[in-house]
Chains A and B, each alone.
Chain A
Amino acid sequence: MNDNGNILIIDDEVQIRRLLEISLSANDYSTFFASNGKEGLIAAATYHPSLIILDLGLPDMDGMELLIRLREWYTRPVIVLSVRNSEEDIINALEKGANDYLTKPFRSGELIARIRAAIRLSEEKKDSPLLEFGSLKIDMINHVVRKNEEIIKLTSTEFSLLALLAKNHGRVLTHQFILKEIWGHGYLEQTQYLRVFIAQLRKKIEDNPSNPVLLITESGIGYRFGN
């Protein structure tokens, strides 16, 4: 029982905490709670949870500030769960170190999936030489991508982009982050590159490019590699 990991929930809403407790323990996670930022910091330091679910509207401090302070030492995943649903807030939280962002109201199934992805990603070896997603195989060492055992020809930029997203599968990468990683600081505004390359990659690796399941668009925020 409860061996999938322990999750700290920092949220002041009792109803949300109750709901999370039920749905998380049903999925074999143990939970504990903090109802404000101060308690949250102490609990995070004491229990060192496998994952933190953080609400941004806390009574004693702004969740964003708490996130920054947590990120000074806490390296495991943080998922923000907030009613704030503007793109600015989401991008800001992701850039400040949140691994994922869900807006309230949320679907429990979606949350569990995100939690699983985040925990798995944090435990996975970063430099695994071969990534597999269904029929897609990415050989990180030899820069070879196979789909249904057939080699897919990719340009070097296409490969770097695919590799970056695949290594972080399940996690939203913001436009800015991807542009910085692949093209460098001078290209932060050049989103047209990203659009063109994503469209090209989809044509090459998706079964149905107009219904992508691997390279998923997160409206106005970035891309997520699905699995």
Chain B
Amino acid sequence: MKHRIRTKFAIRTIPDIMKGSKGISSLTRTSEIYQYILAIIIIGITTLLCSPLSNPQSYHIVSFILLFVVAIMAVFMGIGPVLLAATLSSVAWNYFFIPPYHTFHIAKTEDKFMFGSFFIIALLNGVLTNRIRRQEIIVRERENQTNALFQLTGELSKASGIDKVSDVAKNDFKKHFNGDLFFILQDGNNRLETSEHIRDNNKFQSVDFNIVEQVFSNSVKAGKFTDSFSDAELTYYPLTGTRLNPGVVVMNLEKSVYQGKDAFWNTYFMQISNAIEREFLGELALKARVLYESDKLYKTLFNLISHEFRIPIATVMGASDTLLMSQTSEKHREELLDEIFKASARLNHLIENLLNMSRLESGKISVRLDWCDINDLINKVLQNLNKELEQLQLVTEIQPEMPLIKLDFGLMEQVLHNLLLNACQYSPASSKVCLDASYANGTLILRVTDSGPGFPEKALSKVFNKFFRVDESKPGGLGLGLSIVKGLVESHAGTVSVENPADGGARFTVTIPSEIPDMKKLNLE
């Protein structure tokens, strides 16, 4: 069965050609041997059907019928079977219809001419029709190639990311040439990545990594249908680029689809190579930037930690040392102890923020969504920030009949805590800070508005960046609070934004998409 499937492509290159007429396609798809047999059978049957016409008055008609049948056969059969059909039909006409019957002898001279011209016409008919068909196949094949290239370039330009690009190429290849591609790419250091899993695809079981390596290092195609390793089962094409060679593509294809079209395949794979190289360079640039950023981050972190951590540690050490060494009054003792407590709380806060940031970055924060009473959430936050909020005028507005919202209580508590703490730090004493909560269109909206100086216009876009602080000279924090807010809100699929409202201050708006429970279904007795 497998063999048959292969040979059908050996005869008809492009399956697309047969689209439209199922009958013809099933005939033409049979193998060459089947076509010969079919030619014999068709001529035999036609001869048999024409047997009533086997009389001196109508045998000429039979010649037209046979010529017609041969012409039809030429449309969908190879040249060999058509020639056989032409020969057979003339022999059959002679043997069965031209008097004297059942001999190859022809009595009349005009019949001899007639037979000769029949034979020549049948041959020419078959050959010409077949040639037209071949021309058509070539034209269609070219059209298919052009289409393939056209679609490929179109889709490649839209695809972003190496995976996407290789998928586009694979799909295009499958669609137009009914073959499979497998990409083996390099790792950025001119070494091919190991790709043992290529064998998971049963079409690539016979992949030879030696050939892959050679193709990659020499940038010359190899394998089946090529000059080197031509006994291999697969074809290996180098992906070459202007700045680097992205890798090698392995393909399985039928001979007739591949052979003799080097120019086309060069262009085809050039397009793929270019797209992959483009993505490759993009990723390399991104990696380099990430590396640069993380280096910068490391330095910032280092500076901050050495600064931010040392101050509270110095306080603890100095204060406890004073307590141990000298005679201090009760009042001073208490003040020093208070300083120690504050300093250690500050250290703890720094560590919490750093840990939270790293948890967020490593994706280790798990969001456990659960129904939450927003009143409860806000009360909890306000209770915890009791001391800090004392010196401010806090106005809380929660929409009446606020529904239960699905969110992670602990994480959202941190979000509000950090936003309010930020407002506390930047608001002058006894100024107004507003916290309001509402629910509309499936979204919870939390807003914190302070009456501080607001953010400088230039800083607005950087507020949520890690380690960003408006005034770096001032002590107080690592600049992580707001980036943690952003991370936590985004882990709820929400958004957070900042603006300077017209009437002064700064306003943070958090939106969290959430369903609400169907309270009618609750049994509240």
A interface with B by C-beta (< 8 Å): 87-88, 105, 155-157, 175, 191-193, 195-200, 210-212, 217, 219-220
Contact = CB atoms under 8 A, between A and B. Distances in A.
A210 B409 contact: no
Interface residues of B, number: 24
A73 to B, nearest CB: 33
8 contacts: A88-B366, A156-B525, A157-B524, A192-B404, A192-B517, A217-B379, A217-B380, A219-B410
B344 interface: yes
B370 interface: yes
Contacts, number: 53
B383 to A, nearest CB: 7
Given A191-B370, A193-B522, A198-B373, A220 B380 contact: no
Contacts of A212: 379
A200 to B, nearest CB: 8
Interface string B408-433: 11100100000000000000000000
A38 B517 CA distance: 49
A198 B373 CA distance: 9
A220 B408 contact: yes
A73 B371 CA distance: 37
Nearest to A189: B370
Contacts of A219: 380, 409-410, 413
A191 B373 contact: no
B371 A105 contact: no
Given A192-B517, A220-B410, A211 B380 contact: no
Interface string B497-525: 00000000000000000000101001011
Contacts of A175: 370
Given A192-B522, A199-B376, A220 B371 contact: no
Candidate in B344, B371, B372, B375 with the most chain A CB atoms within 10 angstroms: B371
Given A192-B371, A219-B413, A220-B410, A157 B380 contact: no
Contacts of B517: 192
Contacts of A191: 370-371
B376 A196 contact: no
A217 B381 CA distance: 11
Contacts of A199: 373, 375-376
Nearest to A90: B410
Nearest to B371: A192
B348 interface: yes
Given A105-B348, A219-B409, A220-B409, A196 B379 contact: no
Nearest to B408: A220
A199 B375 CA distance: 9
B376 A155 contact: no
A109 B366 CA distance: 31
Contacts of B522: 192-193, 196
Contacts of B404: 192, 195-196
A212 B519 CA distance: 24
Contacts of B366: 88
B368 A211 contact: no
Nearest to B344: A105
B410 A211 contact: no
Interface string B332-353: 0000000000001000100000
A196 B524 contact: yes
Given A105-B344, A220-B410, A87 B376 contact: no
B373 A195 contact: yes
A101 to B, nearest CB: 14
B205 to A, nearest CB: 45
A87 B371 contact: no
A195 B376 contact: yes
Contacts of A156: 525
A195 B344 CA distance: 35
A220 B411 CA distance: 9
Given A196-B404, A196-B519, A211-B383, 14 more contacts: A156-B525, A157-B525, A192-B522, A193-B522, A195-B371, A197-B524, A199-B376, A200-B524, A210-B375, A211-B379, A217-B376, A217-B379, A220-B409, A220-B410
A86 B445 CA distance: 26
Contacts of A217: 376, 379-380, 409
B373 A155 contact: no
A192 B406 CA distance: 9
Contacts of B368: 87, 220
Interface in B350-392: 366, 368, 370-373, 375-376, 379-380, 382-383
A183 B366 CA distance: 27
Contacts of B344: 105
Nearest to B347: A105
Nearest to A220: B410
A166 to B, nearest CB: 19
